[in-house]
Amino acid sequence: MTANEFFRALLAALASKNRTELSAGHSDIHKAFFRVLREIRKPDIQNQLNIEDVIDIDYDPLYGQSRWFDKALTRAQRDHLISFPNPSYDKINIKYAPEAGKALLDKLESHEAIENLAEIFHSQLEAQNKEQPASR
């Protein structure tokens, strides 16, 4: 699986749980992604997912951003998988229907790991939204 395929699978996993609207600011969405990135770099998760180019997925802790993630979001928008008001990301809408997300995941051997990572991502966003309700 490539990093881009993983990203699409992550979107599908979110959609499969009917989490197609993600409300988060630019910084918050990157922080949630960083939490997922830390997980996929763990050896046991890496073995399950077998992401070939995980080394290409960057995250700059000083600025709290990932250029790779920004590019993945832009590609997903170009491919009509998501929509968002660039560059604020105040609300990302995933365009996979829940059934389509489930169908895509069913084709993957590592769907359970991806679903767990999607849960981590979503939980991180929810936690950040609770911490900063006045910023929305």
For the residues 71-93, what does the mean pLDDT come to?
87
Please provide the DSSP assignment of 11-51 as one string. Answer: HHHHHHTT--EEE--HHHHHHHHHHHHHHHTSHHHHHHH--
pLDDT given for residue 88 in this prediction? 66
The pLDDT of residue 79 is 94
Could you count the other beta carbons within 10 Å of the beta carbon of residue 44? 9
> pLDDT (tens digit, 9 = 90+) per residue, 98-128?
999 999 999 998 999 999 999 999 999 999 8
Q: Which pLDDT belongs to residue 100? A: 95
Tell me the C-alpha distance between 84 and 88, whole Å.
8
Taking only the tens place, the pLDDT of each residue in 16-66 is 999 999 988 888 999 999 999 999 989 899 888 888 888 888 889 888 899
